[in-house]
Amino acid sequence: MADHKLHRIHPEIRQRAVSLRKPLTPAEQRLWARLRNRALGGFKFRRQAPLGPYIADFYCPEVHLIVEIDGSSHNDQVDYDLDRSAWFETQGIRVIRFSNREVHQELYGVLQTILATCQHILTG
């Protein structure tokens, strides 16, 4: 993976990431409560993590996995998300996405998917 590109974070992106950490959406709050402090399988996650030119909702550096929570989207946002995901994948980072509805109504399934993905990446 091209780690060198991930560590060159523009100060404006870093500041934006810091400001985004404060007002989590309800779905982000719900998921973060289950990911923080290595609560899911011992994997460490960071929230609103600056990576290159983008900010990931949740990032697990151990397995290079991003978890994104998508709200109601319009076409421009969908295109932007696809571009972001493509960039992350060129950096060797896998991206999985869940909707707000999935986090609120199917949290157990979301957590199982995240854990299974982390374990799969770790064991190759």
User: At 43, is the secondary structure helix, strand, or coil?
Assistant: coil
pLDDT of residue 1: 47
Q: Hunting for tokens 């493509």 — which residue is that? A: 86
Structural domain span for residue 26: 3-123
pLDDT of residue 15: 74
**HSE of 102, CA atoms in CB hemisphere, 13 A:** 16
Using a pLDDT cut of 90, give the percent of the chain over it: 69
- Backbone torsions φ then ψ of 89, nearest 5 degrees: -65, -35
pTM, to two decimals: 0.82
CATH number of the domain within which 9 lies: 3.40.960.10
Rounded-to-5 percentages of helix, strand, coil across the chain: 55, 20, 25
Q: State the chain's mean pLDDT as an integer.
A: 88
pLDDT of residue 8: 64
Q: Which residues of the chain have pLDDT under 50?
A: 1-2, 4
Q: Are 49 and 35 in contact, with CB atoms under 8 Å apart?
A: no
